């Protein structure tokens, strides 16, 4: 993925009280919830983009702590700015950000520390030689297996049919079980109350079908 670099984004991220960087998070492994005012159940979104989904999840669920994870600093800066723009009257104190590569998550979170993981419109990495970079690859599922609570779940949404079918094959050959699966999520009753990402709004507006699965162990 090629992104436009925004001058000053590195310093902005380093100074942001709402955000913790990968190196510091690794040093403080198991204490990630110290960045919140209060310890609550923890849910994370990996590759959150500009943060619309997790921001609205935090507003809707004040009794849950949310961490949006994004490795691209220029994108993360926009997510933080948009959060601040909504805080003119009240702080969203159950939402924080982590600037990190998803491959490092087992070095950041304790075993069983996370209650739920969201994967929304992840990069499909369509070339076979890049399959291990997909966030639903066996390597990443092993990471999630470590940090997720025993009764925790993963929710995955995408508009990319190829990525979805690949993910189903990976699940079939793993310890994970499929709790829910749809190739046209927005046509089903389960989509009631669904919170959309920026990409989801765009794709639905174009008439694209959204695939969704929920998995657990």
Q: What single string gives the DSSP state of each residue in 177-194?
A: EEEEEESSGGGSGGGTTP
Residue with tokens 């220029």: 74
Backbone phi, then psi, for 29, in 5-degree steps?
-50, 135
Marked catalytic residue, from 93, 110, 115, 123: 123
Q: Is pLDDT of 201 > 90?
A: yes
pLDDT in tens, 153-185: 999 999 999 999 999 999 999 999 999 999 999
| Helix, strand, coil percentages, rounded to 5, for the chain | 40, 20, 35
pTM value > 0.85: yes
- Domain extents for the chain? 1-110, 118-127+150-217
d(CA 55, CA 97): 10
Chain centroid to Cα 25, Å, comes to: 17
CATH 3.40.50.150 is the classification of domain 118-127+150-217 = yes
1-110 against 118-127+150-217: fold identical: yes
Residues 6+ apart with CB under 8 A from 110: 29, 30, 147
Among 6-10, 77-81, 138-142, 157-161, where is mean pLDDT lowest? 6-10
**CA quadruple 24, 26, 28, 30: dihedral, nearest 10:** 140
Of the candidates 120, 147, 127, 144, the one whose C-alpha atom is nearest the C-alpha of residue 201 is 120
- What's the pLDDT tens digit per position in 69-127? 999 999 999 999 999 999 977 899 999 999 999 999 999 999 999 999 999 999 999 99
**CATH for the 1-110 domain, from 3.40.50.150, 3.40.50.300, 2.60.40.1230, 3.40.50.11540:** 3.40.50.150
- In this prediction, residue 3 carries a pLDDT of 59
Question: Are 212 and 156 spatial neighbours (Cβ–Cβ below 8 Å)?
Answer: yes
115 flagged as catalytic: no
Q: Kindly state the DSSP code that residue 215 receives in the 8-state scheme.
A: E
């Amino acid at each position: 993925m090629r992104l436009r670099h925004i001058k000053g984004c590195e310093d902005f991220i380093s100074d942001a009280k709402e955000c913790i960087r990968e190196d510091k998070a690794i040093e403080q492994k198991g204490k990630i919830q110290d960045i919140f005012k209060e310890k609550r159940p923890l849910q994370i979104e990996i590759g959150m983009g500009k943060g619309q989904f997790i921001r609205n999840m935090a507003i809707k669920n004040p009794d849950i702590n949310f961490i949006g994870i994004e490795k691209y600093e220029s994108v993360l800066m926009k997510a933080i700015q948009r959060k601040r723009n909504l805080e003119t009257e009240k702080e969203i104190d159950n939402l924080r950000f982590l600037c990190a590569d998803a491959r490092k998550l087992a070095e950041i979170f304790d075993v069983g520390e996370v209650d739920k993981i969201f994967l929304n419109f992840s990069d499909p990495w369509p070339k076979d030689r890049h399959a291990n970079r997909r966030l639903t690859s066996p390597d990443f599922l092993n990471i999630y297996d470590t940090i997720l609570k025993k009764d925790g779940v993963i929710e995955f949404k995408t508009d990319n049919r190829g990525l979805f079918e690949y993910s189903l094959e990976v699940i079939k050959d793993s310890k994970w079980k499929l709790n829910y699966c749809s190739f046209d999520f927005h046509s089903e009753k389960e989509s009631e109350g669904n919170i959309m990402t920026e990409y989801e709004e765009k794709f639905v507006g174009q008439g694209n079908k959204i695939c969704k699965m929920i998995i657990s162990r």
